[in-house]
Structure 1
Amino acid sequence: MLAITLMLIGLVALLLTGLPIFAGLSLFGGFLLAGEPGGLDAVSDLIFAKTGMYVLVAIPLFAYMAHIMIRGRIVDDLYTTAHTLTRHLPGGVGIATIVACMIFSSISGSSVATALTIGAVAIPQMIRYGYAPKMAYGLVAAGGTLGILIPPSGPMILYGVATDTSISGLFMAGVLPGFLLSGIFMAYCAFKQWGTPRAERASWGEMGRAVRQSAWAIALPGLVLGGMYAGLFTATEAAAIGAVLALLIAGLAYRSIGLREIWQCAIEASRTSAMLFMILAGAAVFSYALTKLMIPQQVVALVLELQIGPYGFLLLMMLMLFVLGMFLESIAIILITSPVIMPVMAHLGINPIWYGVLLVINLEVAMITPPVGMNLFTIKGVVPSASMGEIIRGAMPFVLLMTLGMLLVMLFPQIALVLPESMININAQ
């Protein structure tokens, strides 16, 4: 156990130096393998096998779809539509912010992009309607985290690849927990803003015009997810269909994008994907090193010795992930922990899709937890005049709310599993 602990501490310390994740994982894994007879012989074949998987095609395609939708200004009207529909409710402006975050999350797959895009519009509006600045900052920071829970989700794809878990199943498993967290945020917002002034209810005509204005932005995620749920196509095929539809919508329906922008989107999606593939290559080396050293088997033996059971193990993992999330990026956490714990989960009978959702919710918490919570810095970028202390104080209630949501999903697994279990062809990637 001491050797395992020292190994993980050494890797975390290496990554905290600022070394890129792919380099840290590759160098550390290579160092461990160098002491094993023939340990480095299979590394090149391993990397090619891991990065040549068909399912990874979904990463650049989903990234391309998101860039097309954003650059084509298809999502610009989301907040206006949400505000028109909810402005008369208690906390209506905040509720509109969460609704816009939900829809944008299902397009971008990025927490930072969601907080950045929605925050620039929503924060001034909330302050204008009497929200305390720290409440506005915290709401957008937390709403932005939905980007990695509501599909498509980059971390879910990486987790699925690292653990050989159905990505379509993971995507569907994130839908209801995403709605649950959104509902908790909305309820908190309505409670906090109950006595503040509300805008006049929009007429049916205004509502209809607002919905028509952003109909394509709302419809595209529904078509992609609905097709996966019905078994019409896999996650990889859904990414391709989503990218083609985004191109058609931006180019023909909105006429808001030209050949230059299409090329720029392709370059940006390629850069993002190349970075992730390099990280996967490093993770393959690290995972292979752990297997050669029989680390997963030692962890299984330790858990058996402790006799903590499935829920005890999950609580222990959630605590460890919370601590790691304060210092490491979500991708590093997924790829460091997954190879070690998968054999333990298999032995304890823990559904990997259920655990994947709990993992992603924990990573969402990390996005708004200092010292390296990315969404906190994103809000600071949106509102340079805000102090980091005020942003952190605004986010802290949402850390508790997200922890509540995570506990509910832990206590009631069907919140995450009901949609995947009812899917057609769940094993399709």
Structure 2
Amino acid sequence: MTIFLVFSGLIFLLLTGMPVFAALGIAATVILLLFEGNIGSVADTVFAHLDKSILLTVPLFVFMANVMIKARAIDDVFDLANAVIGHVRGGLGVATVMSCTIFAAISGSSVATALSIGSSAIPQMKRFGYHERQALGVIAAGGTLGILIPPSAPMILFAIVSEVSIGALFLAGIVPGVLMALIFSIYCVMSARDASAHPWAGWGNVNAAFRRSFFAIMAPPVVLGGIYLGIFTASEAAAAGSLYALLVATLVYRNFGFRDLWDAAYKSMRTSMMLFMIIAGAAIFGHAITIIRLPHEITQAVTALGLQPLAFILIVMAMIFLMGMFFEAVAIILITTPILLPTMDAMGIDLVWYGILLMVNLELAMITPPVGMNLFVIKGITDAPLSEIVRGAAPFVMLMILGLILLLAFPAIATWLPYTAGFGR
């Protein structure tokens, strides 16, 4: 009964359109007043959760993404992908997926990826014979890779809330991210019956495109390579990535002035403050449900049912898939993680593996109606009917479910790289 009341109250607040941090804070405040009679513990709880050096990664990675977007590095990335593979039947779709993969590793944002790549790729795909529905679906799905491929904002948020190593999660997302991009690419080739390939650009154009985009595509290796080799901690990698982005924007692209720096810093500040407010709200909510022993009750209920870890994960994935139809990724992470974490710990479930499963499920949330953010982003840049965008994205929903099944069946897809790199279980 307690679980039902907490969930229904929180969902009601979110459905009113209230900001996530406010809904979490209000729900937690009501719980604390009812069960403790005061909210004296709120300030200490918020300070304890925000007084962490790992939170430096949030504004730094956001700033890195904003600088690279301002420098318009994405144009060169798409040109390179198109020059390499665009001449093959279905190759422009593959090039779009490749561009989304690279830009996702630069921006860490699904919405930014869909917006930036879509603006360039959709007109090109339609010009070379792709049906509009195909083009819309590729962009909607390709954009979701920003959640899975590091550095990912939802991944950072999950790491902070669950206290799982950000470095381990970043490395765990690489192989599944590449696998998902490969599945999308294979589908693009197999389904491109009506799409005519354009002539081969020639090695000269490929080399020229590679030289123009070299410094842009080196951003992910600088960040992730430093973590993998033990040169950087996650926070230091974020700082190195921001410095690298500034150097590329000012010395290579030379189109980044003081006004652009101000805009990038201002946008990064606003995004970071929003995330910090959400983290504060989640901290209070987590503290409140611990007071009423809600996680303990869930653990006892699961134990009484005799569920095996895999069965429990399947139920959780189904629940998150349904939530993804109505709530954004941040809300899902912050509602479910504090409640489920003790149960997963008790059952010995690998939290790195679970984190990647969660990210794939959140990818699905970006393209499943009625509240799939990428669907509305694509509609905003194309004015295409929402129904057409949903139909275009539908095959990719099935492909993502296939990826989720593969991760469930073979956890090593996610865990092999971080544990090989020395991040212990």
TM-score normalised by the chain length of structure 2? 0.98
Residue 348 of structure 2 aligns to which amino acid in structure 1?
G
* 3-state secondary structure, aligned to 2:144: helix
Q: Kindly state the Cα deviation for residue 74 of structure 1 after the two structures are TM-superposed.
A: 2.2
Residue 393 of structure 2 aligns to which amino acid in structure 1?
A
Q: Distance in 2 between matches of 1:289 and 1:59?
A: 25
Q: Distance in 1 between matches of 2:385 and 2:73?
A: 32
1:31 equivalent to 2:30? Answer yes
Give me the CA root mean square deviation.
1.2
Residue 408 of structure 1 aligns to which amino acid in structure 2?
L
Q: Is the 8 A contact 1:25 1:285 kept in 2?
A: yes
Q: Distance in 1 between matches of 2:311 and 2:386?
A: 35
Greater alpha carbon shift after TM alignment, 328-337 vs 195-204: 195-204
CA-to-aligned-CA distance 1:367-394 (integer Å, 9 cap, x gap): 001011000000001101x111111111
CA-to-aligned-CA distance 1:196-238 (integer Å, 9 cap, x gap): 4222223222211111110011111111111111111111110
Q: Kindly state the Cα deviation for residue 4 of structure 1 after the two structures are TM-superposed.
A: 0.5
Q: Distance in 1 between matches of 2:332 and 2:189?
A: 34
Match runs of 1:14-413 below 5 Å: 14-37=13-36, 40-194=39-193, 196-384=195-383, 386-413=384-411
1:8 equivalent to 2:7? Answer yes
Q: Kindly state the Cα deviation for residue 426 of structure 1 after the two structures are TM-superposed.
A: 6.1
CA-to-aligned-CA distance 1:172-201 (integer Å, 9 cap, x gap): 111111011101100011000156422222
Q: Is the 8 A contact 2:216 2:248 kept in 1?
A: no
Give the gaps of 5 or more residues in structure 1.
none
Residue 366 of structure 1 aligns to which amino acid in structure 2?
A
Q: Distance in 1 between matches of 2:311 and 2:170?
A: 26
Give the gaps of 5 or more residues in structure 2.
none
Q: Distance in 2 between matches of 1:395 and 1:253?
A: 36
* 3-state secondary structure, aligned to 1:75: helix
In percent, how many aligned pairs have the same letter? 49
CA separation of 1:284/1:39 partners in 2, compared to 1, >3 Å: closer, same or farther?
farther
CA-to-aligned-CA distance 1:115-164 (integer Å, 9 cap, x gap): 01100111111111221111110110000000111010111111111111
Q: Distance in 2 between matches of 1:268 and 1:408?
A: 37
Q: Is the 8 A contact 2:74 2:117 kept in 1?
A: no
Q: Distance in 1 between matches of 2:406 and 2:245?
A: 35
Q: Distance in 1 between matches of 2:36 and 2:262?
A: 47
Q: Is the 8 A contact 1:230 1:424 kept in 2?
A: no
Q: Kindly state the Cα deviation for residue 34 of structure 1 after the two structures are TM-superposed.
A: 0.4
Q: Distance in 2 between matches of 1:308 and 1:188?
A: 36
Q: Is the 8 A contact 2:87 2:198 kept in 1?
A: yes
Q: Kindly state the Cα deviation for residue 308 of structure 1 after the two structures are TM-superposed.
A: 1.8
Q: Kindly state the Cα deviation for residue 261 of structure 1 after the two structures are TM-superposed.
A: 1.2
Q: Is the 8 A contact 1:231 1:425 kept in 2?
A: no
Q: Kindly state the Cα deviation for residue 248 of structure 1 after the two structures are TM-superposed.
A: 0.9
Residue 398 of structure 1 aligns to which amino acid in structure 2?
F
Q: Kindly state the Cα deviation for residue 88 of structure 1 after the two structures are TM-superposed.
A: 2.2
Q: Is the 8 A contact 2:131 2:194 kept in 1?
A: no
Q: Kindly state the Cα deviation for residue 425 of structure 1 after the two structures are TM-superposed.
A: 5.4
Residue 413 of structure 2 aligns to which amino acid in structure 1?
I
Q: Is the 8 A contact 1:146 1:364 kept in 2?
A: yes
Q: Distance in 2 between matches of 1:247 and 1:368?
A: 32
CA-to-aligned-CA distance 1:275-331 (integer Å, 9 cap, x gap): 000011111110000100000110001111111211101110011001111111110
Greater alpha carbon shift after TM alignment, 110-119 vs 46-55: 46-55
* 3-state secondary structure, aligned to 1:405: helix
Q: Is the 8 A contact 1:160 1:166 kept in 2?
A: yes
Q: Is the 8 A contact 2:129 2:194 kept in 1?
A: no
Q: Distance in 2 between matches of 1:387 and 1:264?
A: 32
Residue 385 of structure 2 aligns to which amino acid in structure 1?
S
Q: Distance in 2 between matches of 1:122 and 1:314?
A: 37
Q: Distance in 2 between matches of 1:72 and 1:135?
A: 29
Q: Kindly state the Cα deviation for residue 422 of structure 1 after the two structures are TM-superposed.
A: 1.1
Residue 222 of structure 1 aligns to which amino acid in structure 2?
P
Q: Is the 8 A contact 1:102 1:147 kept in 2?
A: yes
Q: Is the 8 A contact 2:131 2:195 kept in 1?
A: no
TM-score normalised by the chain length of structure 1? 0.97
